[in-house]
Amino acid sequence: MSYKEEIEVGGKTLSIEVGKVAKQADGAAWVRYGDTIVLAAATSADEPMDADFLPLMVDYREKMYASGKIPGGYFKREGRPSEVEILSSRLIDRPIRPLFPKNYHHDTQVLVSVLSADAETLPDVIAGVAASAALHVSDIPFAGPIATVRVGLINGQYILNPGEEKLKTSRMDLVVSGTADSITMVEGEAKEITEEEMIGAIDFARPAIRQIAELQERIRQAVGVPKREFQVQEISTEMMDDVQSLVREDLKTLCHQCDKATRRQEKAALEDRVLTELAEKYPEQENLLAEAFDKLYKEAVRRMVLEEERRLDDRGYDDIRPITIELGLLPRAHGSALFTRGQTQALATTTLGTKEDEQRVDGLGEEYFRRYMLHYNFPPFSTGETKKYMGLSRREVGHGNLAQRALAAVLPPWESFSYTLRVVSDVLESNGSSSMASVCAGLLSLMDAGVPVKRHVAGIAMGLIKSEDRFAVLTDILGDEDHLGDMDFKVAGTRDGITAFQMDIKIQGLPTDIMRHALHKAAQARYFILGLMEEALPAPRPEMSPYAPRILTVHVPVDTIGMIIGPGGKMIREIVEKSGAKVDIMDDGQVNIASVNGEAGQMAKDMILRLIEAPEIGRVYTGTVKKITDFGAFVEILPGKEGLLHISEIDRGRINTVTDVLKVGDEIEVKLLGVDDRGKLDLSRRALLIAKDHADRGEEAPEYIRNRPPRRDDGGRGGRDRDRGRDRDRRR
């Protein structure tokens, strides 16, 4: 049976329909917002896997037919997920994953497909609603529903679910997810907004989130099915007491071990001891024993933080680990920086390219080209592990995107810096917040490459540990503090404001005052790191690497673009072949000339300017003889512009034939005497020779008088025709 409900959200109708399609899935939802339609289907295996984690896979895909397009490539069908699809999958996954039961180990899939897309709605937030609705009406254990919305800030006003066009003028692009009662996830980028503007955006999203969540609850009450029962192995009180009595004192010592590697080894040894000594009493219950140990370890760490006000590495709540910065350590890279914060280390490089190096992005919207990219790599050795490294992971895509968005706000516009920029962050060590280290290292590598960024950008990761009566906001969290805490949020920005933000909340009902307190703590930490970065490199390098391409920019009239390109690209090919430079011509008349050295670029620039240059009467040109006739020579004084050098204007006196003085291919100096109404050029070599003779004698050259009358508009043959007429009259 199909059931549908709808509400008004952000000035549009949001409808959720269940029971219409995909009825063999455990749960499915058909969600429409404007002309955007998303289908989400959720399924979960009947039997649990032999695992100690939730095997959840969220897969978001955009069907190209949704916007009336046919996929490119040979096969003409959708292939592996794009970067946008991977990021959207993570955007859906992160707020729903904490809402599954901790001990639910059934293989679970949530497949989300965009079936129709309009230009006014970004489908990722609608996909988040669809995924939640599909899970909520199913029998899969899920403590939802959740809702997801997007918030923009235009002219000081918050906008709900802005489309791509509105986002171009918005100061923020913020995605907020949550239940009817609390926020669970926030992610986005901004153009240096304040902490209060960030809080305001989150508060602005709350009513819409509550409204959408309540809509899903009404649908479940109408047509939902009971949640399935699943077998859970509970840790008995006796087992917990046995484990605690065995490791109580050792856990205290372990919590005070500052070094990550040593702490990991000691923790593994302590866990092995538990499994060995209690194996006989609790046969075939290793997973439960390990779970009990982890629970006790987590409680011990949290108790130490809240009661002793100490952290795993013995820092205070607001302390930042020691930071070192090294610049220009890779001689052949265009820019490089090594940023180390405690046991987290990122090596970032910047490579400058031309317009040809831009990334073509094709999706549901119009195809466009991306001139700035940041790629993040996280090899296993960065955490001292050995595991399969099968290429790029979703996590690497997500962390790279966060760092990329953090730096976008300070990059120079294309018009003033016409380079394609690729930043790569290779994480060499990781113990918390490698993405924020990538922000710092990436910015410094851009400056080391001579990119004129507007301001320094730094990032910091914050954490939260909260009990019923107290809480602690932790600055610059470790990996274990992230894992054991209640909130992880990363903030990047300049001294003027926030440029990127990501927050995941693991507890219900986080008060706004705690969020505000954490944001202001993050700002203080950011300013401290910015001070160190400004001290290491106060401003971008004044000179770029000698190995970076040099780009000259020329602005030409739009109506001369065809002249530069030439018939079939003849002229532009000639410029490239002769100069060795790359030439990119924009539709607005901007011409970018790239070369490995300045001479080649300048040569190409001169050739382009000569190509569009208008001949100037009285100016002396060095031209090339292109053709010889009985009455003179045609000389090219500018690319594609030839003039007649009459036989009478070749030398000081009369010559019998043109070839007595000139031959094809000769380069000679000529003076432009005039341009007739038809644009024909009248040249003289004789004028220059006579002027030289006067100069050699120390005399001032008089005004030049042609050696022949100027060319007539009717071709100059009228006089001879009249003479012939008089002769005929005399003969009569």
Measured distance CA(531)–CA(526) in Å, rounded: 9
Report the pLDDT value the prediction gives residue 715, as an integer from 0 to 100.
Answer: 46
Average pLDDT over residues 433-454: 97
Check pLDDT > 50 for residue 729.
Answer: no
Cα distances (Å, whole numbers) of residue 181 to 207, 216, 510: 10, 14, 10
Percentage of the chain beyond pLDDT 90 is 64
Average pLDDT over residues 608-612: 85
Measured distance CA(536)–CA(590) in Å, rounded: 36
pLDDT tens for each residue of 293-330: 999 999 999 999 999 898 998 899 999 999 999 999 99
Report the pLDDT value the prediction gives residue 728, as an integer from 0 to 100.
Answer: 42
Report the pLDDT value the prediction gives residue 708, as an integer from 0 to 100.
Answer: 65
681 burial via Cβ count (<10 Å: 0-12, 13-18, 19+) = buried
Report the pLDDT value the prediction gives residue 711, as an integer from 0 to 100.
Answer: 55
Measured distance CA(31)–CA(33) in Å, rounded: 7
Taken in order of first residue, the domains within the chain and their CATH numbers are 3-223 (3.30.230.70), 238-308 (1.10.10), 323-387+399-536 (3.30.230.70), 550-612 (3.30.1370.10), 620-719 (2.40.50.140)
pLDDT tens for each residue of 79-118: 899 999 999 999 999 999 999 998 899 999 999 999 999 9
Report the pLDDT value the prediction gives residue 730, as an integer from 0 to 100.
Answer: 40
Is the full-model pTM beyond 0.75?
Answer: yes
Question: Strands across the sheet with 172-178, in order?
Answer: 157-160, 147-154, 172-178, 183-193, 498-505, 487-493, 458-466, 471-475
Cα distances (Å, whole numbers) of residue 688 to 142, 645, 672, 695, 701: 92, 13, 10, 10, 10
Average pLDDT over residues 505-524: 88
DSSP state for residue 588 in the 8-state scheme: T
Q: Cis before residue 145, ω within 30 degrees of 0?
A: yes
DSSP 75-103: S-S--SPPHHHHHHHHHHHHHHGGGS-TT
Report the pLDDT value the prediction gives residue 719, as an integer from 0 to 100.
Answer: 44
3-state secondary structure 630-665: CCEEEEEEECCEEEEEEHHHCCCCCCCCHHHCCCCC
Measured distance CA(324)–CA(728) in Å, rounded: 103
Cα distances (Å, whole numbers) of residue 723 to 90, 714, 716, 720, 732: 93, 16, 13, 5, 15
Residue spans of beta strands (DSSP E) within 471-619: 471-475, 487-493, 498-505, 550-555, 582-585, 590-595
Measured distance CA(364)–CA(241) in Å, rounded: 57
Q: Which two tokens stand for residue 9?
A: 């959200």
Cα distances (Å, whole numbers) of residue 248 to 251, 286, 323, 397, 485: 5, 19, 35, 40, 21
Percentage of the chain beyond pLDDT 70 is 96
Closest C-alpha to 485, from 471, 501, 495, 499: 471
pLDDT tens for each residue of 613-629: 888 888 899 999 999 99
User: pLDDT tier at 679 (50, 70, 90 boundaries)?
Assistant: confident
DSSP 538-578: SS--SS--TTSPEEEEEE--GGGHHHHH-GGGHHHHHHHHH
Mean of per-residue pLDDT scores for the chain: 91
Question: Strands across the sheet with 582-585, in order?
Answer: 550-555, 590-595, 582-585
Measured distance CA(208)–CA(177) in Å, rounded: 10
